[in-house]
Amino acid sequence: MARAYDPYSLSSPWVYLIRMMIFLAVVAFVALILYRQIATAFMSNPGLNGLIIATGVIGILLAIRQVIRLMPEVGWVNGYRLGDPGLEVRRPPVLLAPMATLLGNRGGEMSLSPVTMRSILDSIGMRLDEAREMARYLTGLLVFLGLLGTFWGLLQTVGSVNLTIQSLDVGSGDANVIFEDLKAGLEAPLSGMGTAFSSSLFGLTGSLVLGFLDLQAGQAQNRFYNELEDWLSTLTDIEPEEFGGGGYGGVSELRLAIDDLRKSVADTGGGGAGPNAALAMANLAEGIQGLVQHVRSEQQMMRDWADDQSEQQKRIEKLLASMSTAFDRIRDETR
């Protein structure tokens, strides 16, 4: 039997992890083909290039960890949604810790206010952003280390060329000696150029790899966040007083009374008789009465406001008329 489709089920981030693994496999295959060239470039400055590679490896592990850590969170949410009795786990969720604390182990029907839902989403969004800050920092650090190696190598090159030119003895007259001195002097500038280009190569390549992995991790986190927001929106109970600053209490009471009536009718098998139905009808009548009183008070408030505006407009008209008369008098006196 085919499994029923659940539009609010959170998707597993496995697809993004597979993309990352495929990309790393392609990078490793290319590095294996160019092994000799890469080894030669690495030996130009093993210390700095080793630091760049170590930084890239740490960034790769952090990017993969960002995706892997979403898996238990997805499992917890899906288990909670389905009311899984095995929801009790030894390790509570980390990213969803605020929501887990708020909801606890309650299952079944429940509702959240929009303010509560927004607080939960903001907290989770901040945790996701904090998790990506380190990967972004390492990406920038790789670029910085590559540029550092570039300028370091260029400084070595410029200094070595200067020393080579100064050490040439043109007055000896022996061309072979001058040529040998020039060859020996150019070894240091060429070594500096190797340091510059190799560090730039490793730094930019590492930032490219880490940037792609961070992109996949960001997509996985955004998908998790959006699907979680879609599910929480189904639990959100919009209170009318949130739109009017608490002025629609009668509407809220009416809604609660209608809900009580619906539950009472459902308990009695659809019939209207019974003490529960009578009590629900009484609550409904009180809710309607409160709504009518509230509407009347709102109408009276609007009428009072309109009267105040009318009186204020009349006072402004009188003031403008007096000012116009005063200006006319001053103009006549100055003629």
| pLDDT average, residue stretch 157-161 | 67
**Whether residue 253 sits in one domain with residue 228:** no
pLDDT above 80: residue 133: yes
What is residue 232's predicted lDDT score, i.e. its pLDDT?
Answer: 78
241 lies in some domain: no
The answer to the question of residue 211 being in a domain is yes
Residues 164 and 47 in one domain: yes
Q: 322 and 193: one domain?
A: no
Dihedral angle over CA of 44, 49, 50, 55, nearest 10: 180
Q: Are residues 19 and 122 in the same domain?
A: yes
**Most confident segment among 37-41, 94-98, 186-190, 291-295:** 37-41
Domain boundary at 235, 263, 295, which?
A: 235
Best CA proximity match to 87, nearest among 77, 99, 101, 102: 77
Mean pLDDT in residue range 262-268: 58
Residue 1 falls within a domain, yes or no? no
CA 127 – CA 1 distance, rounded (Å)? 39
Neighbours of 289 (CB within 10 A): 13
pLDDT of residue 178: 59
CB 145 within 8 A of CB 52: yes
In-domain check, residue 8? no
For residue 167, pLDDT beyond 60: yes
Residue 7 inside a domain? The answer is: no
Tens digit of pLDDT for each residue in 35-93?
Answer: 998 888 888 888 888 999 999 999 999 999 999 988 888 888 877 776 654 445 456 67
Which of 40-44, 70-74, 184-188, 225-229 comes out lowest in average pLDDT?
184-188
Q: Kindly tell me if the per-residue pLDDT of 182 is higher than 70.
A: no
- Split into its structural domains, the chain has a count of 2
Least confident span in 61-70, 116-125, 188-197, 229-238: 188-197
Q: Are 214 and 128 in contact (CB under 8 A)?
A: no
- Give 3-state DSSP helix, strand, coil % of the chain, rounded to 5: 80, 0, 20
Query: Where a domain ends, among 208, 235, 262?
Result: 235
Q: Is residue 140 situated within a structural domain?
A: yes
Whether residues 209 and 155 share a domain: the answer is: yes
Q: Name which of 145-159, 169-183, 185-199, 238-252 the model is least confident about.
A: 238-252
In this prediction, residues 17-45 reach a mean pLDDT of 91
Cα 99–chain centre separation: 17
Q: Which domain holds residue 168?
A: 14-235
252 and 176 share one domain: no
Domain membership flag for residue 262: yes
Task: Note whether residue 174 is domain-resident.
Answer: yes
